[in-house]
Structure 1
Amino acid sequence: MDQRKRDSIVAYLRRRMAEVGIGLDDVAAAIAQDEIRQTAARYRSATGQTWSGDGEMPQWLKQALSAGQSLEHFAVDGMVSRREAATRRKTDWREDPFAGTPLATVHPSYGHAR
């Protein structure tokens, strides 16, 4: 983005903020609140729904777990507890009876890589 276009956007944003009474402190507080909310999430769905792990488990996560998905699957990067990581079952793909067969590949039309 060139400097002139950037300056134009900044001027537009300042003008709109002044029209509705939003100050720079308001913007900074909103950004900080968003960062706090994002770091508090321990589990996240593919659609962006989150859960901190406190309180009652949300319906989207209950449904996924009852369908056979693991809780670790939804863990936000680095947020899996040591207890959960220790109980995670290790998979030995050398024992996979379907390795090297067409059943081991994913069809590209499903949106997954081979």
Structure 2
Amino acid sequence: MDERKRDSMIAYLRHRMEEFGISPDDLAAALATGQSEQAGARYRSATGNTWSGEGEMPQWLKQAISAGQSIEHFELSATPAAAPAPKAGVDWRDDPFAGSPLARQENPSR
């Protein structure tokens, strides 16, 4: 975002905050509350819904499980998963998608 768009957006947000009587302290408190709610989260959906694992299971999780998804899919780990290392020595000539438009594109690194 360029500087003019950024300044314009800040001015717009300040105007709207004044219009609704929202102070910077109110905004900071609301953000802190949202972060503390997510800090206790044990499960999270792709859309950002969270559940601590206590109390009744939320509807979004019930629906996902009844559709065949496992609850472990939504579980948050204590440490983020590391990206898998690329496999060395893979022979891409045996690609199951050979002949598709993507497979026919020439790779400039070859």
The answer to whether the superposition gives a TM-score over 0.5 is yes
Aligned to 2:37: 37
Pair 1:72 & 2:68 matched: no
Q: Distance in 1 between matches of 2:63 and 2:9?
A: 44
Structure with the higher helix share, 1 or 2: 1
Distance 1:71 1:23, change over 3 A: same
CA RMSD of aligned residues (A): 2.8
| Runs of at least 5 residues in structure 2 that lack an aligned partner in the other structure | 80-95, 97-110
| Runs of at least 5 residues in structure 1 that lack an aligned partner in the other structure | 80-101, 103-114
Runs of 4+ in 1 over 4 A off after TM superposition: 62-69
Using the size of structure 2 for normalisation, the TM-score is 0.56
Q: Deviations over 1:41-85 (max 9, x none)?
A: 101234433210112333443455566644322201328xxxxxx
Q: Return the letter of the residue paired with 2:30.
A: A
Q: Return the letter of the residue paired with 2:24.
A: L
Paired residues in the alignment total 82
Using the size of structure 1 for normalisation, the TM-score is 0.54
Aligned to 1:13: 13
Percent identical among aligned pairs is: 68
